[in-house]
Chain A
Amino acid sequence: MKRPSRASSGDVFGAVDDPTRRRVLDLLTHGELPVRRIAAPFAMTRPAISQHLRILLRARLVQVRLDGRERYYRLRARPLREVYDWVAHYERFWQGKLKALGAFLDREGNEQKGRRR
């Protein structure tokens, strides 16, 4: 699989292609968290988690806030929005079209019966 470039949105693709980072994003959907809380559910060293967070940060999927010595991360949904819209769009699109196909078939059936009478 060819990786998109690292510039701009390219990072988003690479960033979400990792189960740990997806779990981190999932955790952050509940709100802002300090690094130690993000690291807690993972059997991983803090530097390893920090590395994942850096990748997410580069992809602008998270933003960081310094409060004293603690770094707080929160999710930035913006890069995910378009993708979400697309998935939702296609699901809705085909579901709607299959319904429309059913309605079309029913309509055709009635017309044919009508003509035969």
Chain B
Amino acid sequence: MKRDLKFEAVYPHPPDKVWRALTDPQAIAQWLMKNNFEPRVGHKFQFRLEPRPRGWSGIVDCEVLEADPPRRLAYSWRGSGLDTIVSWTLEPIAESTRVRLEHTGFRGLRGWMISRMLGKGWRSKILTQNIPKLLAHWVGEGAVPDVPEAQCTHK
């Protein structure tokens, strides 16, 4: 029943180089986020996003779950009510590398709802067309304040 976010990209660079970009803290900081990553299973680290986005602490707590150079890397991705897993799978194609990125295991209150929202039939229409239109209209009314953070974590 879980729904995941999946992305794929092909980079004209060899897997070793892509792996370095995914696992060297300085490299990661340049394209992803500030971090104290080490490519060692069990290593706990944090990503910090600056400036802090609206509705998010900007801190992601992680733990390395898999590190199999230069093929597969996975870490837990926890923050703001999300308890998820981010995994990277590298596959050489000629001189290039195919990278599969999966953000999976949406659980917890928000995660669960996100997974529902990503469910069949909703993603295609309601999420991409109807809801955005409605939200634009609703936001345009300007009468309703922002949803407070607490509302989503309320038990």
Contact = CB atoms under 8 A, between A and B. Distances in A.
Interface of A: 1, 4-5, 7-10, 12-13, 16-17, 19, 22, 25-26, 29-30, 75, 77-87, 89-91, 94-95, 97-98, 100-106, 108-109
21 contacts: A4-B109, A4-B155, A9-B152, A13-B116, A17-B116, A26-B125, A30-B130, A75-B134, A77-B134, A77-B138, A78-B147, A81-B138, A82-B152, A83-B110, A83-B114, A87-B117, A90-B103, A98-B9, A98-B99, A104-B31, A106-B13
Interface in B34-70: 53, 55-56
A22 to B, nearest CB: 6
A3 B138 CA distance: 29
Contacts, number: 123
Determine the main DSSP class of A at the interface with B.
Answer: helix
| Most interface-central of A17, A25, A77 (chain B CB within 10 A) | A77
A110 B103 CA distance: 30
B122 A22 contact: yes
B135 A84 contact: yes
Determine the main DSSP class of B at the interface with A.
Answer: helix
Interface residues of B, number: 47
A95 B7 contact: yes
B93 interface: no
B124 to A, nearest CB: 11
B17 A108 contact: yes
A81 B135 contact: yes
A88 B11 CA distance: 24
A97 B32 contact: yes
A82 B11 CA distance: 33
Interface string B100-116: 01010000011011101
